[in-house]
Amino acid sequence: MNYLDINKETWNKRTTLHVKSKFYDVASFLQGQSSLNDIEINQLGNVSGKSILHLQCHFGQDSLSLARLGATVTGVDLSSSAIDEAKILNKQLGLNATFVCDDVCHFGDSNTQQFDIVYTSYGVLCWLPDLAHWAQGVAKALKSGGEFHLVEFHTFNDLLSGYSYFPKNEPDIEEETTYTENCDGQVSQVITWPHSLSNVISALINAGLIIELFEEHAYSPYDCFDGLEQVAEKRYQMQHKGQKVPLIYSIKARKP
């Protein structure tokens, strides 16, 4: 089973809906609204003049938001439809971001450019079967002293939803709809893998990166899971037996 072809087809279908959704709100984005959230903005700091590699960039809103802040950005994504849409947005906004259609692990193997920052966020790791391979590509893409930034949905919520917390020999293969409000009910096959927090952190350490920050957050900036309650603007929480559930974690690592 070729998981790359299957997941690419799914994300090509999803992109068609996503660019028309209120969830992504392309119209407001074109008028100047940033797609970045407080978690990543605070963690990244001032990116003006920095070169950034954005892995699994979808159709480029975060990449272009970073470009608006003065960064030189390269976005990579498996979906050809998403990359086509990212290039359209880039042209409409008059920016100079670069977008590449590729699997991030293959890109990591073939890439020869080095960046000040590698960034990836929100729902990215479950699509990767081998985090050691992924982390090696991240480290290779960083300049000496460069920073890696990950903001990801917490695996604890996956456990509460009935998925494995720990890595397995076989992936989860399911038929799913997409998560935007304009979902038309169409299902597509998805192939994903669970990764524990220790699996993620160990992969980065074994790739030679130094972990400088690890944080957990009891909220999500997106209303994209069942059982969430809005508690503030762009803050959605979940409780389990009266206790807040960790929904996001973030990591900053540096290449020596």
Of the two residues 35 and 1, the one the predictor is more confident about is 35
Predicted pLDDT at 217 = 97
Q: What tens digit of pLDDT does each residue of 88-107 get?
A: 999 999 999 999 999 999 99
42 pLDDT exceeds 90?
yes
How high is the pLDDT of residue 119? 98
d(CA 153, CA 216) in angstroms, rounded, equals 10
Section 160-168 average pLDDT: 94
Q: What is the mean pLDDT of residues 179-185?
A: 91
- Separation between Cα atoms, residue 216 and residue 22, nearest integer Å: 27
The 10s digit of each residue's pLDDT in 6-16 is: 999 999 999 99
Specify the pTM: 0.96
Distance CA 183, CA 55 (A): 25
Tell me, what DSSP letter sits at residue 178? -
Query: Does position 149 have pLDDT exceeding 90, yes or no?
Result: yes
What tens digit of pLDDT does each residue of 77-91 get? Answer: 999 999 999 999 999
Q: Which bin fits 67, alpha (ψ -120 to 50), beta or left (φ > 0)?
A: alpha
Residue 251: burial class (beta carbons within 10 Å; 0-12, 13-18, 19+): buried
